[in-house]
Structure 1
Amino acid sequence: MDRAELLAFLGREFPQVAADFDITAVTPDLLTMRLLTAERHLRPGGTVSGPTMFALADVAIYLAILSRIGPVALAVTTNCSIDFMRKPEAGRDLLAEARLLKLGRQLAVGDVLIRSEGAEGVVARAALTYAIPPRG
């Protein structure tokens, strides 16, 4: 699936959150996307919340998988480990780089790096595993 197909899928299947995300690039090896941060994504102290960063990592790897296998809505997260490394810059969108490390018939494993736009350094790193439902 290309960028336009992935965005259409996201809007159709997840309309409640689709407007929060934009895909900036899709290649066979990498999907990059942006979380359009707003006040609802912040926690006390004026930083982006952990659950919001988890959502960005989860959506990014989900779409990276779908870019390779097609619109399989029922692919689901089976594991996620996320390291929060530094405070995201307030008032900046978050950028995610999702890489698939393994794509099998039943499982996909990937890594996501999250940065604050315009800032150096990774704010979070996530490792995710997805279950892919049987076809047919």
Structure 2
Amino acid sequence: MDLDTMLAVIRRGVPLAEDWGVELLEAEGGRALLRLPASARLLRPGDTLSGPALMGLADVAMWAALLSVNDGRDNSVTSTMTVNFLRPAGSGPVLAEARLVKRGRRMVFGEIMIRAEDSEEVAVHVTTTWAVIAPAAR
């Protein structure tokens, strides 16, 4: 599945991703790289991206990683998410790198690193577990 088609799947499944302008830069083999452009609507006091925006980006990034191994069809849902805010992410844009750590029949474990686009320092480290729900047959 090409990136434009996968991004369309993501935006249909999570309309907030379209509202925020989330971009899909890479998605292959259980890994995904997404970009969240700068937006004053997503800032908190202190001129940095808000926690809810960063957590939402992490969740979408994980789903993109899952879609990359399921031909763009995945109905799995977030079961747990542990978020560690290591430093302010700045006022944007930011990159989220997601990878599948372990795929089981019922659960998937993943990790997401978020950083300011102009920095190599991780601002947010996320671990997540998803419950596998088989896609409906076409």
Distance in 1 (CA, whole Å) between partners of 2:69 and 2:129 is 15
Asked whether 1:131 is paired with 2:134, we answer no
Q: 1:2 to 1:103 in 2, by over 3 A?
A: farther
Distance in 1 (CA, whole Å) between partners of 2:51 and 2:31 is 23
Distance in 2 (CA, whole Å) between partners of 1:74 and 1:120 is 32
Distance in 2 (CA, whole Å) between partners of 1:50 and 1:35 is 13
Q: Assess if the C-alpha contact under 8 Å between 2:96 and 2:115 holds in 1.
A: yes
Deviation at 1:5, TM superposition (A): 2.2
Aligned to 2:117: 117
Distance in 2 (CA, whole Å) between partners of 1:131 and 1:29 is 16
Aligned to 2:77: 76
Distance in 2 (CA, whole Å) between partners of 1:132 and 1:70 is 15
Q: Secondary structure of the equivalent of 2:134?
A: coil
Aligned to 2:100: 100
Moved more, 118-127 or 7-16: 7-16
Deviation at 1:69, TM superposition (A): 1.6
Deviation at 1:63, TM superposition (A): 1.1
Question: TM (normalized to structure 2)?
Answer: 0.88
Aligned residues: 135
Deviations 1:23-61 (A, max 9, x none): 111221421110123011100111101111101111000
Aligned to 2:35: 34
Q: Secondary structure of the equivalent of 1:99?
A: strand
Q: Give every structure 1 segment of 4 or more consecutive aligned residues whose post-TM-superposition deviation is greater than 4 Å.
A: none
Distance in 1 (CA, whole Å) between partners of 2:28 and 2:66 is 11
Gap runs ≥5 in structure 2 = none
Deviation at 1:104, TM superposition (A): 2.0
Distance in 2 (CA, whole Å) between partners of 1:47 and 1:134 is 38
Q: Secondary structure of the equivalent of 2:87?
A: coil
Aligned to 2:3: 3
Gap runs ≥5 in structure 1 = none
Q: Assess if the C-alpha contact under 8 Å between 2:30 and 2:68 holds in 1.
A: no
What is the percent sequence identity of the aligned residues? 34
Distance in 1 (CA, whole Å) between partners of 2:44 and 2:88 is 11
| Letter of the structure 1 residue corresponding to residue 125 of structure 2 | R
